[in-house]
Each structure stands twice: as structure tokens, then as C-alpha cells.
Amino acid sequence: MGRLFGTDGVRGLANRDVTAELALSLSAAAARVLAETGEFAGHRPRAVVGRDPRASGEFLAAATVAGLASAGVDVYDAGVLPTPAIAFLTGSSGADLGVMLSASHNAMPDNGIKFFSRGGRKLPDATEDAIEAHLDQSWDRPTGASVGRVHSYADSGELYIQHLLSAVPCQLDGLHVVLDPAHGAAATIAPEAFRRAGAQVTLIGAEPDGLNINDGYGSTHLERLQEAVPAAGADLGLAFDGDADRCLAVDAGGAVINGDQIMAILAIDLHERGALAADTLVATVMSNEGMLRAMQREGITVLRTGVGDRYVLEEMVRGGYSLGGEQSGHVILLEHGTTGDGVLTGLMLAARVAATGRSLGDLAGCMTLLPQVLVNVPGVDKHAVDSHPVVQAAVAAAQAELADTGRVLLRKSGTEPLVRVMVEAATAEHAQEVADGLALIVARECALQQQGAIV
């Protein structure tokens, strides 16, 4: 059996993989692990629990609350809120633990469980492993007055909105914004925050019914937003995913502005205001080379990490950096939050438009995206790729051919016998040609049946 926790908590098909029993057991185990490490020493422990609007979140949240209270933790139920709101409330309230029930951008049948430690940070791998190890262990349950109590966190949404507005450097007066919250957790929060910031708001994908989250709307389905922004005559559009920890944008003409472009715009903004710590942006190896070149021209250093917002955050914390994120739209503004925050990212992006008087499309022109092609090569021994002489020679030859007009990256999948071949080049045709050629070599040289490998 593999590790229960993935790169972003526990996730799977609700009521099959992620059950009420699992939610209850995981929450109780988390409380016991934190108690054993001394996190609860000297006080009665408290936890904040939230969820996205999925139907399954109702019973999973109930089970989570029950598990925590059974372990002696007082629970503050925040209801439906974005993941970054739960991280923020965990930190701002001084709670010992935060729990979010969400499967992020996944389709409605899935759900997941994310834990935050004191301060609103994701749990380290070692703590997650300890929680998993405690699942089947017997324990001394509290009784009487020692059991946890359950409270409604009535003003949680208002506190989060006030936090968002406190971070925005200017009003959005005169700006018309189309918002697409993917029928998800930000369906109420996002329009309220933008309206209070002064923007005129048009909404699509903002009628969650428990079953329609991420269904044809949001950051993974931008087509409707691309149509809605020009049709409304709006200045820009912003799309979030189901739990609103990521944001992608659309300019007035309907062109997509991806996470790399958003990070570039925000990096330049912070740089000009003297608020970009160490004049450094933290991104992943998947970020487009065009962004790096643009940042270099602006005097901004880019540090690259492995794929995953937790690795971006780790590097930001290590170096004291203020801005980082991923091409997918996870953007972390560390001064204001400990995780990707789609609504905050959207507000900061809109504020840059308002403050400069320039269109979003014009601001995005600070960088030129190199055509990027990604080819998945299944059924291969992914562990052999890094040291296979023929593959490495082919990669070196491809990089030499591209020279400074592009780059090659081979990345092993974390969960499958799969290698991802990513190529950037001056033209999409050239990138595709190089990627296809490398994919054929990887498939031929590292085929599982040929190598007899076990993955």
C-alpha cells in the first residue's frame, strides 16, 4: 500500500477512497500526534474546519469535526470557505490545527482532506507520516469535560474579506471585472471582496449546488470566461478553481493570462514598490523560459524548485522571499498568506491594472511566452532516464540544437511509470518536433518490457 498523503493532503473518490470513517480517524490521529509533539501543551487545543461546496463535504466535515472533538479538541466550524481562508483563520485565530475538506480543481465526485499546523502552514511530510501511523493504534479517549466542544465560526467569512482588502494597495474604482469562481468555495467571498474594493463585478459560474463544482467553469475551463469578458465589455476576467487557491486571468480581448504571466506582472509591481524581498521570484522548473528572460531584464532573480506549491513555499520560507508560484495559477504572497490564494492574487492583479491605467494585455506584454510542448511517455522505467547514456546524449544534443532559443526538461512522474518530456523553442512546430523525437528515444530505450524493470 502506498503513502496515504499525497503532495496536497489526502484525495480521492468521496465515499470510496475518502470516507467518513477515514475523515474521523485521520482527524483524531492528527490531534493525537500534535498532542504528543507538545503542540497542545499548557492549553485546551482548538481547530478551524472548513470545506468547499461539494455535497460530500457535508458528511466529511461532520466526521472531521467529530474526530477532532472526540480527541479533546474544541472545533470552530467555518463552513464553506476557500482553502486560503482556512489557512489564514488558523493562523490569525491562534488555532492549533486547521482542516480543509476539498479536492481543489478535481471533479465533483472527488474530495480531500488538507491539514494546516499552527500558523496556517501545511504539515511537513514527517507529521503526515506520523498521523498515518496512528490510524490503527488504540488510544486513551478523553471523557467528561475533556471532550472537545463544537462552535460555529460565525464571522469567519467577514474576517477573511477584511484580510484580503487590507492587502490591496489601491481601490479598483472604475474597473469592470468578470469573476468565475467555478461554482466553488469563492462564489460568495470573491464578488463581495471585489465590490468592496470598488470594482464593478459580473459573475459567471457562481451558483454552487453541491454537484456542479468545476463543471465547465473555473481555472481549468476558461472558455466561458474568454467569451464573457469581451461580451460584457469588461477590463479583465479572473477564474478560480474549486477551493480558490489558484487564479488564472483573461484580458479584455479574451486572451488567457497564465500563472507565469501573472507572477511576472506582480513581481514587477512589487519590485517597483520596493516590496519584492531580495528582488527574487520563486517559481518551478515548469515555468516558461520567457518569464525568466523578462525578469532578468527587470533585475529580478528567479529561483526554480521542483513542481508543487509546497516546494515553492519551502524555498520562500527558507530564503525569506515574498513572491512565488506555479504556472497553473498557484501564487503565494508570503506577506499576506501561507498558501496560494486565488482571490488575493486576482485582487493584486486588478490593483496593478487600476494603479497603472494600463490594460491587462499590455501589462502581460512584459514577457513573451516561448512555445512549450509537453509529451507524456508511459510504460517506461522512469528511474533509468537520468542515467541512461543514450537518453542523456539525446537530451544534450537537443539542448545544443536549441542553444539559447529554448530548453529541454525530462521529469519523472511521482505516481506512474511515466516520463514527461517538456520542450520550449522559438516556434511551436520546432518544440513539438524536438519533444516527439525525444519521446520516441525514451520510449525505445527505457521501455519496461525491454529493461525488465519493476516500478
Other CB atoms within 10 Å distance of the CB of residue 287? 25
Q: Which residues are annotated as a binding site?
A: 104, 241, 243, 245
Per the CB < 8 A criterion, the answer to whether 250 and 258 are in contact is no
User: Which of 56, 93, 104, 117 is flagged as catalytic?
Assistant: 104
* Ramachandran sector of residue 119 (left: φ over 0; alpha: ψ -120 to 50; beta: rest): left
Q: Which residues are annotated as a binding site for Mg(2+)?
A: 104, 241, 243, 245
Among 311, 245, 213, 218, smallest CA distance to 84 is for 245
Other CB atoms within 10 Å distance of the CB of residue 65? 22
**CA angle (105, 366, 409) in 5-degree steps:** 55
104 is catalytic: yes
d(CA 448, CA 428): 30
d(CA 210, CA 57): 9
Residues acting as catalytic residues: 104
